[in-house]
């Protein structure tokens, strides 16, 4: 027995829609309805209809008249609302790998620069301004069989002044002129030595590393990469004042000359 249901509705002017009703297999192998009612327009009105045929039914049609009792047909399958179930599977999602410091060990940031003022000199108990410089660096290469760009951004500067003391700064410091300060005044990276002598200062820059796999998004690498500049010599002297009647040019053998 074939069951047919048709509904007609005048919906709108100058609108044409059409769709077919199909059956498809669910993921578990059972049958399911897979489409919505159809609509057809002749340019002046829209007729919307819906039809369904129960699986396994035969042909035939029901007649109609002005009166008389109609024979009740046995219920067929209930047509679900317009939904489609997708059978997913048979594929694997591969994400980008996590990168460690060991994976980027072949990428080495350049050494920072290190200097001071007065250049190579210091005065006991007075600030010696030690200044370092390091900038962001980017390097292209391969990591874990991917073409990548590795970026190093300086995060901290660790100064060692050669007398057992050290200082940590978020920047490498600046000259007295750049800071608008007088000579022998304290700065965030200066140091005052307690005794005369020769000292060797150094600075270690801690870089934060990140990797771009070509998407423009930087993936942070846990930890820091260090680069050190050492061997900046500072001769620290004592300064004594004295009243003299001539300059050292006029009297090279004078006091303090």
Q: Identify the pLDDT of residue 31.
A: 54
Residue 187 in any domain: the answer is: yes
Residue 245 in any domain: the answer is: no
What is the span of the domain harbouring residue 24? 1-86
Q: Identify the pLDDT of residue 152.
A: 99
Question: pLDDT 10s per residue in the chain (257 long)?
Answer: 444 434 444 343 444 444 444 444 555 555 544 445 555 555 555 454 545 444 544 444 444 445 455 566 666 666 666 555 555 566 677 689 999 999 999 999 999 999 999 999 999 999 999 999 999 999 999 999 999 999 999 999 999 999 999 999 999 999 999 999 999 999 999 999 999 999 999 999 999 999 999 999 999 999 999 999 999 999 999 988 778 788 888 888 887 77
Cα–Cα distance measured from residue 131 to residue 159, given in angstroms and rounded to the nearest whole number: 9
Q: Identify the pLDDT of residue 243.
A: 80
Cα–Cα distance measured from residue 53 to residue 5, given in angstroms and rounded to the nearest whole number: 9
Residue 103, SS3 per DSSP: helix
Q: Identify the pLDDT of residue 250.
A: 86
Q: Identify the pLDDT of residue 2.
A: 42
The reply to whether 105 and 232 lie within a common domain is: yes
Residue 194 in any domain: the answer is: yes
Say if residues 135 and 153 touch (Cβ distance below 8 Å).
no
Residue 115, SS3 per DSSP: strand
Q: Identify the pLDDT of residue 77.
A: 65
Instruction: Supply the CATH number for residue 125's domain.
Output: 2.60.40.10
The reply to whether 114 and 82 lie within a common domain is: no
Say if residues 40 and 16 touch (Cβ distance below 8 Å).
yes
Q: Identify the pLDDT of residue 72.
A: 63
Cα–Cα distance measured from residue 81 to residue 85, given in angstroms and rounded to the nearest whole number: 12
Residue 256 in any domain: the answer is: no
Residue 95 in any domain: the answer is: no
Q: Identify the pLDDT of residue 252.
A: 84
Q: Identify the pLDDT of residue 95.
A: 85
What's the structural domain count of the chain?
2
Say if residues 134 and 228 touch (Cβ distance below 8 Å).
no
Q: Identify the pLDDT of residue 234.
A: 98
């Amino acid at each position: 027995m074939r069951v047919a249901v048709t509904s007609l509705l005048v919906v709108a002017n100058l609108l044409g829609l059409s769709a077919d009703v199909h059956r498809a297999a669910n993921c578990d192998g059972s049958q399911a309805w897979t489409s919505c009612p159809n609509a057809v327009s002749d340019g002046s009105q829209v007729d919307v209809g819906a039809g369904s045929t129960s699986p396994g039914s035969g042909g035939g049609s029901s007649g109609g008249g002005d009166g008389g009792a109609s024979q009740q047909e046995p219920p067929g399958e209930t047509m679900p609302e317009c939904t489609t179930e997708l059978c997913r599977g048979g594929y694997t999602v591969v994400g980008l790998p996590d990168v460690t410091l060991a994976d980027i060990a072949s990428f080495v940031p350049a050494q920072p620069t290190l200097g001071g003022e007065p250049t190579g000199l210091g005065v006991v108990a007075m600030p010696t301004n030690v200044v370092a410089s390091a900038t962001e660096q980017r390097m292209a290469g391969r990591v874990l069989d991917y073409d990548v760009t590795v970026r190093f951004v300086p995060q901290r500067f660790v100064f060692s002044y050669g007398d057992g003391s050290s200082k940590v700064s978020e920047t490498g410091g600046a000259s007295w002129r750049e800071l608008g300060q007088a000579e022998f005044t304290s700065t965030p990276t200066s140091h005052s030595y307690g005794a005369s002598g020769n000292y060797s200062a150094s600075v270690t820059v801690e870089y934060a590393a990140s990797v771009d796999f070509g998407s423009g998004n930087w993936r942070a690498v846990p930890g820091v990469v260090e680069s050190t500049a050492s061997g900046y010599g500072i001769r620290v002297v004592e300064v004594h004042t004295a009243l003299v009647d001539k300059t050292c040019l006029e009297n090279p053998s004078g006091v303090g000359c």
